[in-house]
C-alpha cells in the first residue's frame, strides 16, 4: 500500500468520525495476463496484482450499527453488522455489507472510511479489491487472522449473493494472495497456486480503453450459463476436462460450441504462457496474448470495437516482440500489454493518464 493512499484513508476517517482510526488495511487490484473466462470453468489463470487498490481505515464503535463513508463517491452507509440487508441497487454498499454477512461469529459495530485509486469499470477488479479490503478490516476488528483462500471465498460469495454476478474466484484469489511484481499461476479447480517472477527485461502496462464495462446486465452471467450448457452436453461437470478434438467431433449448438472452444484453447494458452516465461521468450508470450485476444473477440464475443482498435494501436507500437489483449471480463475495460522494458516509457507517453505500470 502506498503511504499516500494510507494517509488519505486516515484523513478521511478523521474528517468523517472526528477521531483517529484503530488501523488501516489495503487490497490491490489485479490484471490478468492470460486465462480469461476460465476460472468458473475450473481452469488455469495467470493474474498479477497492480499497485493501485483500496485502502480502508477502521475503528470499533460503541454503537450498534456499522457506519461507512466512501470518499470516492461522497456517500455513506449504515447497517446492522450481523444482519446486513442487501441494498436496493448494486453499488459499493453491496460489497461491504456482503463481506460482513460472510464473517463467522458476527461482527461488532465498526466505523469505516474507504478510498482507492483503481478506476471503476476498468477491468482491474475494483470490486474484489473492495471486498478483500473490507474482509481484512473486519478480521482485524475482531482480532482474528483469516487466510487468503478463506477471504477469497467470502469475497466470491459476496459477488454471488449481494452483487448478482456468478463470477469465478480468480480475481479474489489474485487480490488476496498475490505478490507485488509477480504473476500467480492459479488452478481454479483446487485453488493451488504458485508465484511466477517475470523476466527482468519484460515490462507490463495496463491501459484504459475509456469504455466502462458492466457485468450485472446479464452478458457475463450468460457466458457462464453457455459454458455450463456446453459441459453438460459433453457429459462433464466443467470444461476443464474437455479437449479440442472432443469439441470438434461434438454436435454442440452455437454459441455454446464457440464458448467451449475459447475455454479449452485459453487453458492451453496459460500453460504455454508459463513455459514462455520460464524460457524468457517474450515474442512467444506476445503471440499467446494476441491469440487470446482474437479468441475473446471472435469466439467468446466479449470485446468492443474501441478496445480492438486500442489493441491494434498498442501492438503497432511494440511490434512482434510483445503482445496486447483485452483483460478482465470484457465488454470494455482495459487492455494489458507485455513488452520489452525499454518500450514502456514510450507507450506510457502515448497513453498518458490512461496507462498504469504493473512492472
Model pLDDT for residues 197-232, shown as the tens digit of each residue: 999 999 999 999 988 765 545 788 899 999 999 999
Q: Assess whether the previous peptide bond of 127 is cis (omega < 30° from 0).
A: no
Topology adopted by domain 3-194 = Ribosomal Protein S5; domain 2 (3.30.230)
Per-residue model confidence as pLDDT tens digits over 38-70: 999 999 999 999 999 999 999 999 989 999 999
Residues 242/264, Cβ–Cβ less than 8 Å: yes
Dihedrals phi, psi of 201, to nearest 5 degrees: -85, -5
Indicate which residues carry an active-site annotation. 171
Model's pTM, two decimal places? 0.91
Distance CA 35, CA 185 (A): 10
Q: Decide which of 1 and 313 is more confident.
A: 313
Find out whether 3 and 98 touch, Cβ atoms under 8 Å: no
Grid cell in block for residue 205: 502496462
Contacts of 221 (CB under 8 A, 6+ apart): 164, 165, 166, 215
- Cell numbers that stand for 207 in this block: 491501459
C-alpha to C-alpha distance for 162 and 85, rounded to whole angstroms? 9
Residue 119: per-residue pLDDT: 76
Residues 309, 351: contact at Cβ < 8 Å? no
Rounded CA gap, 170 and 294, in Å? 21
Q: What is the mean pLDDT of residues 178-201?
A: 96
Q: What is the pLDDT of residue 216?
A: 43
Kindly report the CATH class assigned to 200-357: alpha beta
User: How much is the pLDDT for 247?
Assistant: 94
| Burial label, 340 (beta-carbon count in 10 A; 0-12, 13-18, 19+) | middle
Nine cell digits for residue 99: 463481506
The SS3 of residue 59 is: strand
Does residue 46 contact residue 185 with C-beta atoms inside 8 Å? Answer: yes
Cell numbers for 272, please give them.
504455454
Per the prediction, the chain carries an average pLDDT of: 94
Are 341 and 202 contacting, i.e. CB atoms less than 8 angstroms apart?
yes
For 27, the grid coordinates are: 487490497
- Give percent of the chain with pLDDT exceeding 70: 97
Domain ranges of the chain: 3-194, 200-357
Using DSSP, state whether 33 is helix, strand or coil: strand
What's the CA gap between 48 and 178, in Å, rounded?
A: 7
Q: Which residues contact 313 (CB under 8 A, 6 or more apart)?
A: none
End-to-end CA distance of the chain: 15
Of 357, 289, 356, 346, nearest to 321 by C-alpha is: 289
Mapped onto helix, strand or coil, the DSSP state of residue 38 is: coil
C-alpha 15/C-alpha 21 separation (Å) is 11
For residues 301 and 245, the answer to whether their CB atoms sit within 8 Å is no
pLDDT at 85: 94
Amino acid at each position: 500500500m502506498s503511504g499516500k493512499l494510507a494517509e488519505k484513508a486516515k484523513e478521511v476517517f478523521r474528517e468523517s468520525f472526528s477521531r483517529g482510526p484503530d488501523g488501516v488495511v489495503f487490497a490491490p487490484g489485479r490484471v490478468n495476463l492470460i486465462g480469461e473466462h476460465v476460472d468458473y470453468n475450473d481452469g488455469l489463470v495467470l493474474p498479477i496484482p497492480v499497485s493501485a487498490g483500496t485502502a480502508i481505515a477502521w475503528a470499533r464503535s460503541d454503537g450498534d450499527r456499522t457506519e461507512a463513508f466512501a470518499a470516492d463517491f461522497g456517500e455513506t452507509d449504515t447497517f446492522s453488522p450481523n444482519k446486513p440487508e442487501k441494498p436496493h441497487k448494486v453499488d459499493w454498499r453491496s460489497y461491504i455489507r456482503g463481506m460482513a454477512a460472510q464473517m463467522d461469529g458476527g461482527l461488532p459495530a465498526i466505523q469505516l472510511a474507504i478510498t482507492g485509486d483503481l478506476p471503476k469499470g476498468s477491468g482491474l477488479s475494483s470490486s474484489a479489491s473492495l471486498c478483500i479490503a473490507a474482509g481484512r478490516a473486519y478480521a482485524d476488528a475482531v482480532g482474528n487472522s483469516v487466510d487468503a483462500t478463506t477471504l477469497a471465498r467470502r469475497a466470491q460469495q459476496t459477488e454471488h449473493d449481494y452483487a448478482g454476478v456468478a463470477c469465478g474466484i480468480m480475481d479474489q484469489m489474485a487480490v488476496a494472495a498475490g505478490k507485488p511484481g509477480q504473476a500467480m499461476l492459479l488452478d481454479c479447480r483446487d485453488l493451488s497456486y504458485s508465484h511466477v517472477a517475470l523476466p527482468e527485461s519484460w515490462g507490463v502496462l495496463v491501459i484504459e480503453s475509456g469504455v466502462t464495462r458492466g457485468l450485472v446486465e446479464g452478458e457475463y452471467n450468460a457466458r457462464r450459463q453457455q459454458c455450463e450448457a456446453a459441459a453438460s452436453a459433453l457429459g462433464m461437470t466443467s470444461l476443464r476436462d474437455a479437449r479440442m478434438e472432443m469439441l470438434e467431433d461434438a454436435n454442440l449448438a452455437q454459441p455454446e460450441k464457440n464458448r467451449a472452444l475459447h475455454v479449452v484453447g485459453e487453458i492451453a494458452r496459460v500453460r504455454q504462457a508459463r513455459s514462455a516465461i520460464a524460457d524468457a521468450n517474450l515474442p512467444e508470450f506476445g503471440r499467446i496474448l494476441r491469440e487470446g485476444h482474437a479468441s475473446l473477440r471472435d469466439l467468446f464475443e466479449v470485446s468492443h470495437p474501441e478496445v480492438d482498435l486500442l489493441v491494434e494501436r498498442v501492438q503497432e507500437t511494440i511490434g512482434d516482440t510483445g503482445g496486447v489483449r483485452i483483460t478482465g471480463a470484457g465488454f470494455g475495460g482495459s487492455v494489458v500489454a507485455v513488452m520489452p522494458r525499454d518500450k514502456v516509457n514510450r507507450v506510457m507517453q502515448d497513453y498518458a493518464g490512461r496507462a498504469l505500470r504493473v512492472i
